[in-house]
Structure 1
């Protein structure tokens, strides 16, 4: 039996009118501002398309060398560097190179966007208890919403394409970096802040010279989790036109191509492990460096 049938007809009609009002309001908003929002994100689309084309056009040995250098700079571990090289060689051997480059492009751009917006939001929440009181429930709600739900308003507003997929990935992946930036800055010891004040540091000098450097391990942990969440969103975002490894995974699900789905899924796992180990090792080195400074 329908749950609504238990309510009087007048209340049921009011609920139906409310739903119709919300739908009509959203349609009016999308017609009025949809094009404006698309134009706002046009530079982001340009950057994403150019980066994707650049990665695909770059010879594969050069990409592997660049990734190996980045792995060494981040981790200083020869094992991680060798694992990175072998993973990309396997990806190329099994014919997943272009999809992997497209995935790298979307992950890179979404991570940059999340860092550029998430760190300032985290600083704002750390700076203001009122901002934290407002922001924490919003972040909690966003964290409990299933990933697929993020596609609904974005697709209804902007349609199918790279930009809606990128926005959905960014909204889903921005949560950790906001939370951990806020946490990292709030965990900075009062003694360090008092020492900065004693030297006459103003707000900017205290923020950029003391709080952010000491909070870097937490911030990099947030970047790590943001990358992981962006990678986990790749398959879902492929439903609305985002190129990459998620497209063959989605195709394998639709057509029961076990080998295709397994190989591309393992490629996503390989990327996740590489990025996770590099960012974690770099964060650990920052943590040890900070402890060494405190010890000295």
Structure 2
């Protein structure tokens, strides 16, 4: 456990600067989105209510245009763009976290594999770094949402806005519901599936590192088989027209298949690290 924690700390220290930059971009861009959207709405309200041409009352403006809410901010590209950037960064890092260690003259992976600990700890440290980074982004988003909502309250007068809580803000955007699920069960399902996907990709990467060009084909086949195994309860039900399972029972079968795929990926990765990747 101590060796695993040291490796985890080492891996995260290699990523924290990029992590901090992404958090900074997210914070600045989303605050800017709130300010720009609020100013735009207020400018439009002033123009329509106090304009020289065809002015209207406040009530008429609110009836025609409607009050502003945080949902208007969330729907904009300046708000969602940083979220998409963080997701893309995590997806890229899934591959970079391994291939970085093989780059350069002095391939660092060999130093990692020669450490006096089981090689599987290298796998666990890397996959935990990816998971912790993803959860860190989600936690940061949850922290700054109330700050952004407060800024909107400061800028837009009470009569011209509709206040929303964090849950309402999350529910207003489908993409946010994926990264910030409503319930603990959804959280386990979404991030459990994500963990499984990362484990499959890690195994495919290790196949490629072990067998080079042949490994790409083997890794692709392994990934396809793993996905089929995971979806097998649904596939069997659809192909055989066997619809006797309740949704809860189907969900349980999917969870079992997911755990089997994760266990197989860990075992195969451990085997490749111990037997196929030589130092």
Q: TM-score, normalised by structure 1?
A: 0.29
More helix by share: 1
Q: Which has the larger radius of gyration?
A: 2
Q: TM-score, normalised by structure 2?
A: 0.30
